[in-house]
């Protein structure tokens, strides 16, 4: 085939025998073109035109008639034959891949793209195809990359803030009262008297919102203006762009060269090439095209080598012979066996550009502190910067619609042929391989064809089509993505921006959880409505007593205004300030360091908790795993026998080394001998039954040392740290290190171990990894021993799934139960040896599943289960211990004594959960434990409900399946019984089930529920609770960031609830009732005055007296109640039973409200009546006498309510009284200074105060003697 425009290219008829083109994203060896005659069967896509999101137009495709086929490959590139009659209607991969390269989007596509770009903010984004050659207009259809955390702008600030304030009943009520003063008929006194308090409250709130939003604006502006370097082609730079980038180009930078342009983050667009260095925050969702240096940053101006080492010892050479005639093609030459003999080899691959990997930190995205490994697209990893910018429309990315899931991404990266390339008659053959280059398609004669092209020979042979003329597709997954708001932890990277602004994962996962309202706030809101009704009744009653004379409706409104202080506007201000004080006290408590109050409106809720729902792993336990037991069927090793395990491993490796040396003498020279860890003793002795124990230990140790996702990372000092997504993985790798098998290097394609006994390095190639997921509950890896080329599939996972995968055995279930009863977490290890043909068959079908855009995960899982997960050889069972946190036992026992019912919700096995419940003292001594597992029928569920009804003192242990069955069929009956049990343990619970249980308890019991956890799987439960506690755990800060209170360990719960919760609730209850009393008493005085003076709606106290009464005359002493405490800290912790009284809500109830109402009516009536009785000649004296008696009475009442005096309380009382006395001098319109300084003023005020306050003091003394509170009994004992 000498010319692409030949007869075959001009054909308008697509022959049925055209090949299907399949690619895979791991190295050149994965990009294989398979003929119909040689391709394996594949499942037909649901749409024959959307495999790569590219429509193939039969009438317009110049390449429609091109026949392509595969070169028969050997080794890793071999293919399994198939007949051309299979799936005759399925589209060929050649049809999809060999399409018009420069095709432009149709008019309909342009309209659709424009319409998508104009969608509303709430609409989900569509799938997209982004190329490096998109114009600015095409890129502008995607959202701007603007970070916006502001709530308001200049125009919406006041309207929105005022709406948020006046939707509260308090503020709306006083707004109406203030506005009524602008009506002449309703005006009473100074307008400032009613406007000033409301304006003060609003000014504080609006000012706080303004400062917070201004700070958000500054952070947003800083983030949006952060400069980033983008890679652009010099020829495409406009003068405007050059000026904006502040760059000067020299002659060498012109043309097709890559240049760097500084662009603010807010101006980045989808399709931009961005360069990131170590510690750079990723500004958008970026596809990693190229990773430079695994552990150090590289200069962006240095061109990287185009000749890295490929997989399996092949050296990729771009150019050479084919380059002169066909453009960039690939020739693969063998450069050796690629086996390293030391840490240096592995480290060079890990740190070099050829590794194609980098690390990112995701703690600000998912809360996990472990670094995550990201892999570059293999098609672009080896390109220089100049080559990347020259790709233009040749490189396109199909990406699915933006979604929230940060662990899922579906897409394809397609690299189209260069349209400037020309074809020749053939391609040179690889002299060492005897065939064309890897990935080359062949133009082979087909019986169905009527003629031969110029490139075909008369003898029926075919000539290769250079790889540069093929469209190559690489599947994209989440491991190829750098999500926005993550940080590049090591190395440098070049990426393609795919999602911006609101479509990034970070923004889509930024949700504002539902605002939680405390129970105390709800109770006060109900009381405020009662007070409103009382105010209206009092106003109507006075008008009715006057016989509804004249304009009585006006009088009603005037009385409502006079009595507006009954609903004090300062109540919410005092409570909010009190909550701030409680939060500061909690955070500054030295005994619970590191505690953070994230929701300052809920401290009182800590004193009302009746149900505590706790996670197990990382919450009750330390989440610090230590391998304690190893079982291999006929032999079991405990924690005290690990030295013997190490000796057996050394013996097994030494036996292999000796066998290898014997073999190498016969086949190779000694200098080229390599370690062979897979020539197991089983092969030598003839079967597993005759293998010695050292060989079996070696097999298990190798499996654990290889089957994981741990990567060693080295800091500047050279110290090694292990990075993994789970502490379980790190624990196992550290265990293998302790017995003599150390992980020294790892990248995406290789892993190296050092055997300390012989100081040799074991080198392996990673062929495929199957990560652990919560759904699969297992993890697998396929590796190739670089010395023997033997392929092995290792898998480890939970016993519930592995028991169905491994070959039949008679000990696995029994030993799993035994370990679970010891409180150990079990992990089953298995393996399967694969032949080369079996691996290639699996690989081909797995690659086909990987490039599917629909049901990709399901298709991949199906291929794995069909080819790999069949009758695996069971190697062993490990038992990992997760120790209890410090103080867990005493904490749970104390909480149980406090009347709090503790539930443990975990995803672990029922045996392990039962063991932890007993060892942690969640189950009381001698308490019966009732286990319910694997309920299948309604009859069994009914029997369980009946048993629980007769045994309410037991501890229920139930698995998730049985729990769901009971909730689905006996919901109310089960929850009624379960909430009466002292302890419940739910096992095998999903995160959704945990949240559902929390909501169900809240809805059914109407009690306060607290949830505590440490991992991302606990977030939904924490957010569903009335109070969420998050522990900063080994798995990250996700739970801590989502919680209302963040703590460092479970034992802090004791003081948080029993001490701080008690104080917060008791203080707020007392503060709220006294503020209400302060408003009630002055309103009663006004009502008595109006009733005596012919029911006239005239204000007794006006102007500054009303303002001063709510502020400087009473505010400080009243607010000092937030420092009161009824018991000492030691007493509260020593007698947790005191907590039970708090849950009953007796500190603020209808009874206490009625008592304060009676006190207010009595004291207000006494002050006003006595002031009238002692009335002299001038009305002014009534105001001075009654108001002075009122202020002093309030100070005395505060003193009577204080249980434990604080120095600030004494100061506030003295300073307030002093300020009042001084203010009398400056208010001559209300006070006759001569009369105030006279002895008769003093004795009259003293008499009024004695009558109003002394009886209450006597009642308090009598009550403390006859019916003392429980805490006072303990304090005196």
Number of residues that make up the chain: 1277
Q: At residue 116, does pLDDT exceed 50?
A: no
Stated pTM of the model: 0.66
Q: What is the pLDDT of residue 327?
A: 34
Identify the weakest region by mean pLDDT among 90-104, 1097-1111, 1198-1212.
Answer: 90-104
pLDDT at 346: 35
Tell which wins on pLDDT, 1209 or 1093: 1209
The rounded mean pLDDT for the chain is: 75
Least confident of 667-671, 724-728, 853-857, 877-881: 667-671
- Token output for 404: 């929230």
> Residue 9's pLDDT is what?
35
Task: Please give the residue that has the higher pLDDT: either 47 or 1199.
Answer: 1199
**What gap in Å lies between CA 1209 and CA 709, rounded to an integer?**
60
Give Cα 1027 distance to the centre of its chain. 18
Cα gap 549→804, rounded to integer Å: 90
pLDDT, residue 686, reads 41
Per the model's pLDDT, the better-predicted residue between 923 and 174 turns out to be 923
To 5 degrees, how large is the angle CA 619–CA 624–CA 627? 130
Q: How many CB atoms lie within 10 A of CB 252?
A: 8
Task: For residues 721-748, give the mean pLDDT.
Answer: 83
**Which of 732 and 18 is assigned the larger pLDDT?**
732
pLDDT for the residue numbered 1182: 86
Task: Please say if the pLDDT value at position 121 is more than 90.
Answer: no
Residue 276: pLDDT over 70? yes
pLDDT at 1059 over 90: yes
Rg (C-alpha) for the chain, rounded Å, is: 39
Q: Is the pLDDT of residue 1234 over 70?
A: yes
Cα gap 1060→1056, rounded to integer Å: 5
pLDDT above 80 for 37: no
615 has catalytic annotation: yes
Q: Which residue has the higher pLDDT, 327 or 170?
A: 170
Write 1129-1134 long-range contacts (CB < 8 A, 24+).
1129/1059, 1131/1271, 1131/1274, 1131/1275, 1132/1058, 1132/1059, 1132/1062, 1133/894, 1133/1054, 1133/1055, 1133/1058, 1133/1059
All structural domains of the chain, each given as residue ranges with its CATH number in brackets, are 107-145+225-423+472-508 (2.70.150.10), 154-224 (no CATH), 519-591+1058-1276 (1.20.1110.10), 609-620+885-1047 (3.40.50.1000), 626-880 (3.40.1110.10)
Q: What is the band of 389 on the pLDDT scale with cuts at 50, 70, 90? A: confident
Q: What is the three-state SS of 640-705?
A: HHHHHHHHHHHHHHHHHHHHHHHHHHHHCCHHHCCCCCCCCHHHHHCCHHHCCHHHHHHHHHHHHH
pLDDT in tens, 237-258: 655 455 544 444 444 445 678 8
CA 1067 – CA 586 distance, rounded (Å): 14
Is the distance from CB of 761 to CB of 341 less than 8 angstroms?
A: yes
> Tokens representing 550?
């004249």
The predicted-structure confidence for 960-1011, as pLDDT tens digits, reads as follows 889 989 989 999 999 999 999 989 999 888 788 888 899 999 999 999 999 9
Q: How confident is the model at residue 555, as a pLDDT?
A: 86
Annotated binding site for ATP: 615-617, 729, 772, 796, 825, 906-908, 988, 994, 1017-1018
- b/e map of 877-907 (b: 16 or more CB within 10 Å)? bbbbbbebbeebbebbbbbbebbbbbbbbbb
Torsion of CA 324, 329, 333, 335, to 10 degrees: 100
- Ranking 124-133, 185-194, 555-564 by mean pLDDT, the lowest is 185-194
Beta-carbon contacts of 948 under 8 Å, excluding residues fewer than 6 positions away, are 930, 954, 956, 974, 977, 978, 981
More confident residue, 239 or 277: 277
Is pLDDT above 90 for 771?
Answer: no
- 1190: three-class secondary structure by DSSP: helix
Please check whether residue 421 is in contact with residue 101, taking contact to mean a CB–CB distance below 8 angstroms: no
Determine the pLDDT at residue 810: 79
Least confident segment among 246-250, 863-867, 939-943: 246-250
Mean pLDDT (whole number) for 35-63:
35
Give residue 1179's pLDDT band: very low, low, confident or very high (50, 70, 90).
low
Mean pLDDT over 1126-1130 rounds to: 89
64-112 residue pLDDT tens: 333 333 333 333 333 333 333 333 333 333 333 333 333 333 333 333 3
pLDDT at 512: 59
Among the residue ranges 256-265, 606-615, 907-916, 1139-1148, the one predicted with the least confidence is: 907-916
For 628-682, write each residue's pLDDT tens digit.
889 888 888 887 888 888 888 888 777 666 655 555 555 444 444 444 444 444 4
Nearest to 241 by CA among 270, 220, 272: 272
Q: How confident is the model at residue 293 (pLDDT cuts 50, 70, 90)?
A: low
User: pLDDT tier at 605 (50, 70, 90 boundaries)?
Assistant: very high
Give the pLDDT score at 657: 62
Residue 298, pLDDT above cutoff 60: no
User: Which residues carry a binding-site annotation for Mg(2+)?
Assistant: 615, 617, 1014, 1018
- Whether the per-residue pLDDT at 183 is higher than 90: the answer is no
Q: β-pairing, 1027-1031 with 1045-1047? A: parallel
Of the candidates 134, 285, 440, 615, the residue annotated as catalytic is 615
Identify the band that residue 1277 occupies on the pLDDT scale cut at 50, 70 and 90.
Answer: low
Task: Provide the 3-class DSSP secondary structure of residue 394.
Answer: helix
Highest mean pLDDT among 538-552, 690-704, 1062-1076: 1062-1076
- Say if strands 901-905 and 983-987 run parallel, antiparallel, or are unpaired: parallel
- For the chain, give the percent of residues with pLDDT over 90: 23
Q: How confident is the model at residue 934 (pLDDT cuts 50, 70, 90)?
A: confident
- Mean pLDDT across 760-777: 84
CA angle 99, 105, 110 (to 5 degrees): 160
Lowest mean pLDDT across 493-507, 608-622, 643-657, 1243-1257: 643-657
Residue 462, pLDDT above cutoff 60: no
Q: What is the DSSP string of 415-484?
A: EPPPTT----S--PPBTTTTB--TT-EEE---TT-SS--TT--TTS--EEEPGGGS-EEEEE-GGGEE-T
Q: Please state, for a pLDDT cut of 70, what percent of the chain lies above it.
A: 74
690 pLDDT exceeds 80? no
Instruction: Compute CA distances 445 → 17, 315, 423, 442, 451, whole Å.
Output: 11, 31, 18, 10, 9
With CA atoms as reference, report the closest residue to 1041 among 513, 646, 579: 513
Q: 125 pLDDT band (50/70/90 cuts)?
A: low
For residues 314 and 334, what is the distance between their CA atoms, to the nearest angstrom? Answer: 5
What's the pLDDT score for residue 774?
63
> Could you give the strand order of the β-sheet that contains 357-361, starting from the edge strand earlier in sequence?
371-375, 357-361, 487-490
Q: Give the least confident one: 508-517, 630-639, 810-819.
A: 508-517
pLDDT for the residue 129 = 87
Of 240-249, 465-474, 599-608, give the lowest mean pLDDT range: 240-249
Helices 1179-1201, 1062-1092: crossing angle, 10 deg rounding? 160
Higher-pLDDT residue of 654 and 157 is: 157
**pLDDT (mean) for 538-564:** 86
């Amino acid at each position: 085939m000498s010319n692409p425009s030949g007869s075959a290219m001009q054909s308008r008829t697509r022959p049925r025998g055209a090949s299907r083109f399949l690619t895979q994203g791991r190295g050149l060896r994965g990009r294989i073109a398979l003929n119909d005659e040689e391709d394996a069967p594949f499942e037909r896509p649901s749409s024959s035109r959307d495999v790569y999101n590219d429509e193939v137009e039969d009438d317009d495709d110049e390449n429609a008639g091109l026949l392509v086929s595969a070169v028969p490959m050997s080794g890793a590139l071999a293919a399994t034959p198939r007949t051309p009659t299979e799936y005759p209607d399925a589209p060929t991969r050649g049809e999809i891949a060999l399409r018009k390269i420069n095709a432009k989007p149709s008019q309909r596509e342009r309209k659709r793209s424009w319409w998508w770009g104009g969608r509303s903010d709430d609409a989900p984004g569509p799938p997209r195809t982004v190329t490096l050659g998109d114009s600015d207009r095409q890129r502008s259809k995607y959202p701007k990359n603007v970070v916006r955390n502001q709530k308001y702008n200049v125009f919406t600030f006041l309207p929105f803030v005022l709406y948020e304030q006046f939707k509260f009943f308090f503020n709306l009520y006083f707004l109406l009262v203030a506005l009524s003063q602008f009506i002449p008929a309703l005006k009473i006194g100074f307008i400032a008297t009613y406007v000033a308090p409301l304006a003060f409250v609003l000014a504080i709130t609006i000012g706080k919102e303004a400062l917070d939003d201004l700070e958000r604006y500054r952070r947003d502006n800083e983030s949006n203006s952060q400069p980033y370097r983008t890679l652009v082609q010099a020829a495409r730079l406009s003068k405007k762009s050059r000026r904006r980038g502040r760059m000067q180009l020299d002659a060498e930078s012109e043309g097709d060269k890559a240049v760097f342009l500084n662009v603010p983050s807010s101006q980045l667009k989808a399709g931009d090439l961005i360069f990131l260095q170590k510690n750079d925050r990723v500004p958008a969702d970026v596809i990693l095209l190229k990773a430079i240096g695994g552990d150090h940053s590289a200069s962006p101006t240095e061109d990287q080598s185009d000749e890295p080492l490929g997989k399996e010892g092949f050296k990729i050479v771009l150019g050479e012979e084919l380059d002169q005639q066909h453009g960039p093609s690939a020739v693969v030459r063998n450069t050796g066996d690629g086996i390293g003999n030391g840490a240096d080899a592995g480290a060079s691959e890990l740190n070099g550009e050829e590794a194609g990997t980098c690390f990112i930190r995701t703690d600000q995205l998912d809360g996990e502190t472990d670094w995550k490994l990201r892999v570059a697209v293999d098609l672009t990893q080896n390109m220089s910067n100049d080559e990347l910018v020259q790709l233009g429309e040749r490189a396109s990315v199909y990406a699915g619609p933006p979604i929230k899931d940060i662990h899922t991404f579906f897409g394809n990266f397609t690299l189209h042929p260069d349209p400037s390339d020309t074809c020749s008659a053939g391609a040179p053959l690889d002299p060492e391989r005897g065939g064309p280059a890897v990935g080359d398609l062949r133009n082979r004669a087909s019986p169905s064809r009527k003629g031969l092209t110029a490139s075909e020979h008369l003898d029926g042979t075919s000539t290769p089509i250079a790889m540069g003329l093929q469209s190559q597709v690489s599947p994209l997954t989440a491991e190829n993505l750098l999500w926005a708001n993550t940080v590049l932890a090591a190395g440098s990277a070049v990426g393609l921006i795919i999602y911006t602004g609101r479509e990034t994962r970070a923004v889509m996962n930024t949700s504002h959880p539902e605002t939680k309202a405390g129970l105390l706030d709800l109770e006060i809101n109900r009381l405020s409505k009662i007070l409103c009704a009382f105010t209206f009744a009092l106003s109507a009653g006075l008008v009715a007593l006057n016989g509804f004379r004249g304009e009585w409706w006006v009088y009603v409104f005037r009385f409502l205004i006079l009595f507006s202080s009954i609903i004090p506007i300062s109540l919410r201000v005092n409570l909010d300030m009190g909550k701030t004080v409680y939060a500061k006290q909690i955070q500054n408590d030295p005994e619970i360091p590191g505690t953070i109050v994230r929701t300052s409106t809920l401290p009182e809720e800590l004193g009302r908790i009746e149900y505590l729902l706790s996670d197990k792993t990382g919450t009750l336990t330390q989440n610090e795993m230590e391998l304690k037991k190893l079982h291999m069927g006929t032999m079991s090793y405990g924690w005290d026998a690990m030295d013997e395990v190490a000796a057996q491993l050394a013996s097994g490796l030494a036996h292999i080394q000796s066998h290898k040396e014997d073999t190498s003498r016969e086949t190779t020279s000694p200098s080229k001998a390599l370690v062979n860890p897979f020539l197991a003793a089983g092969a030598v002795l003839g079967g597993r039954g005759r293998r010695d124990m050292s060989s079996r230990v070696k097999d298990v140790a190798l499996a654990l040392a290889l089957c994981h996702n741990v990567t060693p990372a080295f800091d500047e000092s050279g110290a090694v740290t292990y990075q993994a997504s789970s502490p379980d993985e790190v624990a196992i790798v550290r265990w293998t290190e302790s017995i003599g098998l150390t992980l020294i290097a790892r990248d995406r394609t290789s892993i190296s171990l050092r055997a300390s006994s012989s100081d040799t390095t074991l080198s392996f190639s990673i062929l495929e990894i199957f990560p652990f997921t919560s759904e699969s509950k297992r993890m697998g890896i396929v590796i190739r021993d670089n010395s023997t080329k033997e392929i092995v599939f290792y898998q480890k996972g939970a016993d519930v799934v592995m028991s169905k995968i491994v070959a039949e055995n008679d000990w696995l279930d029994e030993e799993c139960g035994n370990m679970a009863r010891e409180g150990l977490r079990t992990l089953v290890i298995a393996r399967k040896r694969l032949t080369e043909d079996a691996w290639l068959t699996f690989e081909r079908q797995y690659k086909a599943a990987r490039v599917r855009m629909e049901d990709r995960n399901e298709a991949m899982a199906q291929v794995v289960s069909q080819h790999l997960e069949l009758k695996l050889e069971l190697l062993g069972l490990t038992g990992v211990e997760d120790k209890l946190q410090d103080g867990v036992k005493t904490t749970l026992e104390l909480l149980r004594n406090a009347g709090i019912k503790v539930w443990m919700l975990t995803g672990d096995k029922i045996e392990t959960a039962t063991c932890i419940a007993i060892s942690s003292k969640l189950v009381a001594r001698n308490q019966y434990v009732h286990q319910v597992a694997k309920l299948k029928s309604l009859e069994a569920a009914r029997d369980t409900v009946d048993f629980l009804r007769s045994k309410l003192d037991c501890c229920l242990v139930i698995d998730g399946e049985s729990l769901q069955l009971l909730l689905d069929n006996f919901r109310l009956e089960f929850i009624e019984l379960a909430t009466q049990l002292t302890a419940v343990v739910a096992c095998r619970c999903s995160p959704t089930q945990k949240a559902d249980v929390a909501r169900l308890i809240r809805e059914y019991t109407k009690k306060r529920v607290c949830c505590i956890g440490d991992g991302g799987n606990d977030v939904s439960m924490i957010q569903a609770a009335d109070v969420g506690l998050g522990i900063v755990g080994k798995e990250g800060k996700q739970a801590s960031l989502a919680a209302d209170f963040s703590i460092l360990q479970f034992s802090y719960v004791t003081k948080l609830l029993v001490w701080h919760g008690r104080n917060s609730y008791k203080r707020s209850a007392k503060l709220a009732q006294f503020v209400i009393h302060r408003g009630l008493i002055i309103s009663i005085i006004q009502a008595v005055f109006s009733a005596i003076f012919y029911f006239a709606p005239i204000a007794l106290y006006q102007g500054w007296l009303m303002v001063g009464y709510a502020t400087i005359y009473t505010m400080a002493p009243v607010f000092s109640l937030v420092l009161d405490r009824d018991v000492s800290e030691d007493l509260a912790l020593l007698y947790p039973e005191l907590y039970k009284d708090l849950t009953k809500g007796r500190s603020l109830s209808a009874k206490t409200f009625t008592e304060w109402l009676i006190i207010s009516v009595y004291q207000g009536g006494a002050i006003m009546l006595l002031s009238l009785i002692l009335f002299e000649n001038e009305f002014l004296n009534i105001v001075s006498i009654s108001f002075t008696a009122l202020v002093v009475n309030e100070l005395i009442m505060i003193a009577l309510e204080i249980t434990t005096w604080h120095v600030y309380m004494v100061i506030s009382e003295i300073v307030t009284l002093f300020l009042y006395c001084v203010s009398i001098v400056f208010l001559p319109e209300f006070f006759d200074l001569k009369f105030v300084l006279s002895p008769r003023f003093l004795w009259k005020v003293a008499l009024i105060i004695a009558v109003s306050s002394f009886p209450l003091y006597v009642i308090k003394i009598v009550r403390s003697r006859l019916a003392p509170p429980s805490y006072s009994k303990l304090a005196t004992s």
